[in-house]
């Protein structure tokens, strides 16, 4: 049986401890850095509804009775013709 009775640390022991410490911290940084980036990334606001299309707004106004059918068709034609855009 081999027992080490002296409490001296040899050069290989120092090397093994140093390499182990470097590998340990490399592992911690490799895991922590992407986790930190993921947690600090601005979140996308997926819960906000998209703005309704102009044709949908016209259809809703017609359904609620705010505009009549002739006005609806005139505005829809103007919308599709592009006359409402600024020059």
Query: Each residue's pLDDT tens digit in the chain (87 positions)?
Result: 455 556 677 788 889 999 999 999 999 999 999 999 988 888 776 666 778 888 899 999 999 999 999 999 999 998 888 755 554
- The angle, 0 to 180 degrees and rounded to 10, between the axes of the packed helices 54-64 and 69-81 is 180
Q: 59 Cβ partners below 8 Å, 6+ apart?
A: 72
For residue 9, the number of C-alpha atoms closer than 13 Å in the C-beta half-sphere is 7
pTM of the model: 0.40
First to last CA, the chain: 95
Residue appearing with tokens 């022991």? 13
Q: What is the pLDDT of residue 22?
A: 97
Q: What is the pLDDT of residue 45?
A: 66
Q: What is the pLDDT of residue 1?
A: 47
């Amino acid at each position: 049986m081999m027992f080490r009775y002296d409490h001296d640390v040899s050069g290989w022991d120092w090397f093994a401890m140093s390499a182990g410490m470097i590998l340990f911290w490399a592992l911690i940084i490799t895991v922590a850095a992407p986790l930190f980036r993921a947690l600090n990334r601005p979140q996308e606001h997926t819960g906000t509804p998209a703005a309704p299309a102009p044709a949908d707004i016209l259809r809703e106004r017609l359904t609620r009775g705010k505009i009549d059918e002739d006005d609806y068709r005139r505005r829809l034609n103007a919308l599709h013709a592009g006359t409402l855009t600024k020059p």
